[in-house]
Structures are given as C-alpha cells and as structure tokens.
Structure 1
C-alpha cells in the first residue's frame, strides 16, 4: 500500500492538505489554483482544524447543514441503522425508508402522498423533469436564467447561470428572466412593477414556445445560489395561474430553500401556492448521508399507478440516509429548529444586516428570510456596479482569517448559518462581517 494511504493518517493540517492535493480532484475548480481549507471536526455551528483554530460556520457548508454539525440524535440514528442493516436495494420495503417518506409527506401540502427518493438534488430535478414529460406528453422545460438546479444532464441545462454553457447536452430547455428588482430586466422601479412585468415576460415566452409543447416550469421557490432572490408579491401566484391556464406542471425546487432554511418547512409556504412536484435534498437530513427526492402530487402519482415509471437509482432510499432523515426531521420538530430560524431572521440577521447596509455604501442590497440571506456588494452604489472578483476574494480570505466560514458567490456574501444558530452566534457572525467590511469600506 502507498505510504500516504496507510492507516497512519497524519493529524496536522499540513499532512491532510498534502494528502488532498496529491489525490483529490475538486469540483468547479482550476486544480492548480486550489488551496482547500482543512477541517478536522465540528459541533453545532462551529468547526475546527487540526491546529485548533475554530470557525463559525455561516455557510452551512453548501447551505445544507440545517441542523448543524454532528447532531447527536442524527449520528446515533445512523450508527443504529448501520448496525442493523447498512444497505438494501430500493425495490425492497424498508422500515427506515417508509418512515422517512411518511415524515416528509406529513410536512408536505394536502394532496401529496408519495416520495421518490434520489441521492441528491440534481437527480431529484432530473426525475421530476422525467415525470412531468411523461405525465403531460410534452417535452419542453422552462426555467429561470437566475437559477441553479444541479450538475447532471438535464439539471445543469435547466440551470440558468454560466455553468450551464459548457454542459449543454440535454434537449428541450428554454430559459426566462425571473424577478430581481435590484437588477431588473424589465426597467421596473417597484416590486409591483417587477412582478407584473416578469409575469408578462413569462407569458410571452410560453406563447412563443407553444403552450402545448411545454411540460413544466421548473423554479427554485427562492433562488439561492443566484442570490437569495425572494419573490415579489404576486409573482408565484401568477406563475401558478399561468401553469393552470396552459396545462403546464409546476416543479418547485426546494433543494436549498427547504426544510427550515427560510423559517418554514418549505419556502413556497411564504407565497400561499401549491406546486405539482416538489424536489428536495440538502436540509432534509443536513447532508449527513447523501439523499434527495421528489414529492409527488396525487395527480402525478396516480398517472403511474397503472403505467411503468422508467427511472431508478441503485441507492435510492439508502437506509443510512433514511435513518438520518427520520432523526433530523424528528429533532427539528422537537427542538423547534424551524421556529428558531424564523426568529433569528426576524430579530437578528434581518435587522443586523440592514444596519450594516446603512453603515457601508459598499453594500448595495440585503435580502432574505429566516437564515437565508444575501449581502450584495458594489463598488459604485449609484450605478450598482458589482464589486470586482479580486476584491471579493480578499474579503472571503479576511472573513476566514477572522474565524468565519462564508458562502461567497460572485459579488455576494450569502449569510446562511445552520437553522440551529443561536442569537449570540448570529451576532458574533455579524460582528465579524462588520469588522471585515470596515477594512474595505
């Protein structure tokens, strides 16, 4: 065996870093430019390295550790399931899988009674697209330019951001501009104008593409990676109405925004609408074991009662992931984690970030709900010029050096701590952001 792969793994940051750079190929990266942060352990909202340096996690990693790191009930459930049955094929009936599905259905709106499990959010969206095409007999999928839906065949083409461009291999995808008042595509000056004009634009896209050719509109309930774009009043209701008018299914991607992140179990609950398919992953078990899925409305599920569904995954409903789902959702309910996320947003993060925006012209806009916020940084407030990537890189480095793990995208700091974050931890994170922005103001 190669010496570096022996059981005598080193316990220093340097050794772990060298091991990674020798053997690990990283995603979304120029490999030679990588300098990955070394993490040894964690608990709650905090992580630490092998040298003992501690970090406050304001990223939830990739916005998925909603219940925080190493929650004892979730870890215990995974261990117990591993001791009982570590893996089983998806065609079997398994207690953990059934219990996980039951809990998810109990949180979903009335009229949703089946769950198809996947391994992540990308393949959840893949299968929701497949279902919509089969049910409607149509091919096209409409999705927003400001969106991210995953990095598999159809999911990455449904994605609107630039990562789509070198990956455009799937068929039948059309994009539209979703609302973003701060950088309006519609010359809107108010939320009402942005909503109305965005809906007019979407109607024209539907009409020009041919309503009878469109299977589904796929949307993040609140686009996350694109900038935590909280939908303006009336927009989601308008999208639902367009879908009803033209016989189009509405797929809501709750992969990032779901399971407590916005202070609700599902982000679409803020808008008083009901989709036809719901995709999820990340927060359903905080990513402790990879899991995702599609929650099917009865209309969609009934279509397959006597028809073959041509889809499946070897690890669909993996028992370790299912046990983690059961323990996560139970613990979140018992410990009022969703309510905590709402309170932190309303009482700490919302007011705190607004105060920073008033203090620093560098901040163009702050927006969000619960523990799902974006701070948009600009070099010219009047022109809303995005802060340069080089400066954003320096800000990210400074935040990490100060003990905060940020989620930085383009010219934005996404403030997305675990839903379990305490008032004191939220205030500490805001203080670090304040301290760092002062260096660049």
Structure 2
C-alpha cells in the first residue's frame, strides 16, 4: 500500500484531477466517466482553478451555496467557534445550537417550537418520516413522483425519480403525480384545472390506500431537481385541507427551496399554507459545514415530552455547523440577501427569460421565482418533445467554455445562482445562456 500523500496546494489542476479520479469514488457517477473539472477557491458567485481560470457559478453547487462562497462573516464564525469548542455530543446543551434553533424558528410560523438538527437534507427527511409515523401510529408516506428527498433508506424511497428504483428497501411509500401544467397528467388546460385535478387524485389515493394507514404527506414545497415546479395557486393549501381532513401529518421539504432561494425565507410562505413539519439543509448555512434539520410544530414536539424519541445522530447540532448557521442567517438578515434574491428574480431573471422564451424556438417554458428558475428545452414547441441528452451536453460544454457553470437536469437548464448574485452577474450569465441557445437553434 502506498504511503505517499497528495498535497493539493502543490499540484497542478491536471494532477489534482488525476489523483481524484484514481482514489475518490464519486456519487451518481459511472467511475470511468468523471468530469475533468477542479476548483481551487471562490468568492461570492465566482470560482476558479489553480491556473486562475474563472467561472460565474449559476449552480450554487447543488443549489446550496445561497450566501455565496467564502462569506467573511461565516468563515470568521467557524474559525471563532473552532477556537472555543470544535465538537460536543448532542445530549449536551450548547449556546450555538440554541441560538441556531432560535434564528431558524424566527422565520417560521409561530406554531413551530423546536428544531431537531441533522447532518443534511436526506436525514432530515428520514427523521421527519419517523416523527410522522410515531406521532400518528400509522405507516404510509405519500410523496410525488416528480421529487427528490435524499439518498438514505426512507428518503430515497420517498423520492419519485429513477434513483428510487435500485434502492427500494424501505416500507410504506406511495407516490402520486403533482401539478405540472406544461406536461399535465390530468388533461388540464388551466392552472385551476391542474390544481383541482391533482388534489382530486391525491384524495382518491388517500382513500384508496386507507386514510388510517397514512402517516404523512411529504412534498417539496417547490420540487427542485424535478424541474422547479412551482405549484399553482391553491394546491398546497388544498393539500393542507386534505391532511387535516384525514389526520395526516403534512411535511414540507424545504431542503432546496428554503432560506432565500425563492425570494422568501421558506418557499411555502407564498402559498397560504402552514405545515406540521419542515425539513431544511443546504441554504441554512450554504453548506459551509454540513447541517440540516426538522422544524417541529408544537403538538408534535410535545408528543415526546415524556416519550423517548428513538432517533439521534452523533453530530446533531455540531458546534461548527451551528456557528455557520448563526452567522449565515444573521448575514442574510443584515444584508437583506433574501430580498436581493426576490428582486433579482422579478427585475432581472424573469424579464430576460420571458424574452428568451419569446425569441428562441428551443425554449418550451420558463418558470420560477427568486433565484430558482428553470428553462425547459424542446425540439418542437407543438409536440413538446424534449431536446436530446447530446444537446444538453453541448449546452453545458458551451457555457463552461464561456466561463459559466450551469445546472442541467433532463431537458432543463436550472437558473440557480447564489442569492447574493448582483444585477450585472445575473445579466452576464443570462446573456451567455441566451447566446448558446441562439447558436444551437441556428444549427438545429
């Protein structure tokens, strides 16, 4: 066995990539076909490699770097906490943990009283499912086919996309189609029809599964990876009514959509709904130190006052992660970062994408809010046939060569820069995308 080590600070970009490919097993990847891309550092909305080549980031990595790279207040908070206490068991009371919970709850409805901290979004959803089952004494969880909830046992089964299928070893999961008017499953022609029929389908599923067997409804407030599918007016409120009617816990997954991404602290706040549990991660501290959690409404939290909750994590409420949460939320409040995301969405991104949809025949639909948008690309606007994977690969490569990192999913470009993106940065990135799509439309 080799005892040599790799010091990335002393290696070229090519050497770092070679060492990584030789030794690191990558997620969601065929290991013989990994990207040749390395990052040395970043600032704000930009990244660069060791040779100095720079990219404007329209991905926020995995849609999590809401506050941008290397925010000085968050970096300083992590360093300061490391000087005081690097780690402590979750059974011990800790000031940073209590303050982080207080700041999160400050931006949720008054019905929420406590926070259970996890390491990421997947185990947040995992524990929300556990809470719903224990609270109701029921088993089944209903979620959308077009969804992603994480890559742990129950979370991946709640997920609706292809990643669920090789991993189906958890029990009690049922899926339904949610609203998506552009590719409606309900023969709808208006948002109102799509909403009404999706709710009807959900209720019939509850009835057919047996209401007394359904513990929870777990929906992303806005399905993210599945297409940034903003629900039509009234849908989430209708889901809330069904949950109340049948005594079901409503869990809204805000892992991707929360903490400013949509121009609100939480995406559900624009939809006249209050859930029972909220899961979060990603933007809560922009991934500076891994963290996630479940916010619990009072009745569910107090159900465990004298009953042991059979769940826990060694790093639940880790002090470095909590310090990053406190600094991130404080900076977002002080610098009005959520408001910036809302304004950029309405004043810069929406007009640019509206113009793009009107002018480029590859664009079937644009949708979103804040810094959470999707461009759906089609070969034919009448049939809505998606563009090919080869076309998407060409788009990614062309944007990369022009200095822009883009988030692609199926036939969509997701416009998801950090919430701190400026007008000029947003305009620059959108112009690159428009130029690439214009060139492709001429060639097709």
Q: What TM-score do you get using the length of structure 1 for normalisation?
A: 0.99
Q: How does 1:49-198 map to 2 (within 5 A)?
A: 49-198=49-198
1:266 paired residue number = 266
Question: Is the contact made by 2:8 and 2:16 (CA closer than 8 Å) also made in structure 1?
Answer: no
Unaligned runs of 5+ in 1: none
Structure 1 residue 11, shift from structure 2 partner: 3.5
Distance 1:109 1:252 in 2: 13
1:47 paired residue number = 47
SS at match of 1:110: coil
1:293 paired residue number = 293
1:38 paired residue number = 38
Question: Is the contact made by 2:85 and 2:319 (CA closer than 8 Å) also made in structure 1?
Answer: yes
Q: What are the Cα deviations for residues 340-365 of structure 1, in whole angstroms up to 9, with x where unaligned?
A: 00000000001111111111010000
Q: How does 1:348-387 map to 2 (within 5 A)?
A: 348-387=348-387
Q: Are 2:296 and 1:311 equivalent residues in the alignment?
A: no
Structure 1 residue 10, shift from structure 2 partner: 2.9
Distance 1:27 1:118 in 2: 20
Distance 1:82 1:8 in 2: 23
Seen in structure 2, the aligned counterparts of structure 1 residues 408 and 179 have a Cα distance that, compared at 3 Å, is same
Structure 1 residue 36, shift from structure 2 partner: 3.7
Q: What are the Cα deviations for residues 112-153 of structure 1, in whole angstroms up to 9, with x where unaligned?
A: 110000000000000000000000000000000000000000
1:403 paired residue number = 403
Distance 2:87 2:76 in 1: 17
- Give the paired residue count: 441
Structure 1 residue 35, shift from structure 2 partner: 2.0
1:424 paired residue number = 424
Q: What are the Cα deviations for residues 62-120 of structure 1, in whole angstroms up to 9, with x where unaligned?
A: 00000000000000000000111011111101111111011111111111110000000
Q: What are the Cα deviations for residues 203-226 of structure 1, in whole angstroms up to 9, with x where unaligned?
A: 110010000100000000000000
Structure 1 residue 37, shift from structure 2 partner: 1.2
Q: How does 1:242-253 map to 2 (within 5 A)?
A: 242-253=242-253
Question: Is the contact made by 1:115 and 1:293 (CA closer than 8 Å) also made in structure 2?
Answer: yes
Structure 1 residue 3, shift from structure 2 partner: 6.6
Structure 1 residue 421, shift from structure 2 partner: 0.3
Q: How does 1:306-345 map to 2 (within 5 A)?
A: 306-345=306-345
> What RMSD in Å do the two structures reach over aligned CA positions?
1.0
SS at match of 2:32: helix
Moved more, 68-77 or 99-108: 99-108
1:221 paired residue number = 221
SS at match of 2:97: helix
Distance 2:5 2:108 in 1: 45
Question: Is the contact made by 1:10 and 1:16 (CA closer than 8 Å) also made in structure 2?
Answer: no
Unaligned runs of 5+ in 2: none
2:29 paired residue number = 29
Question: Is the contact made by 2:122 and 2:149 (CA closer than 8 Å) also made in structure 1?
Answer: yes
Distance 1:148 1:8 in 2: 33
Moved more, 9-18 or 221-230: 9-18
Distance 2:21 2:30 in 1: 12
Question: Is the contact made by 1:4 and 1:19 (CA closer than 8 Å) also made in structure 2?
Answer: no
Question: Is the contact made by 1:47 and 1:56 (CA closer than 8 Å) also made in structure 2?
Answer: yes
Seen in structure 2, the aligned counterparts of structure 1 residues 327 and 183 have a Cα distance that, compared at 3 Å, is same
SS at match of 2:42: strand
Question: Which aligned runs of 4 or more in structure 1 are off by greater than 2 angstroms?
Answer: 1-4, 6-11
Q: What are the Cα deviations for residues 385-436 of structure 1, in whole angstroms up to 9, with x where unaligned?
A: 0111111111111111111111100000000000000000000001110111
Seen in structure 2, the aligned counterparts of structure 1 residues 307 and 32 have a Cα distance that, compared at 3 Å, is same
Distance 2:430 2:6 in 1: 42
Structure 1 residue 9, shift from structure 2 partner: 4.6
Distance 1:120 1:3 in 2: 32
Distance 1:382 1:148 in 2: 29
Structure 1 residue 12, shift from structure 2 partner: 1.5
SS at match of 1:379: coil
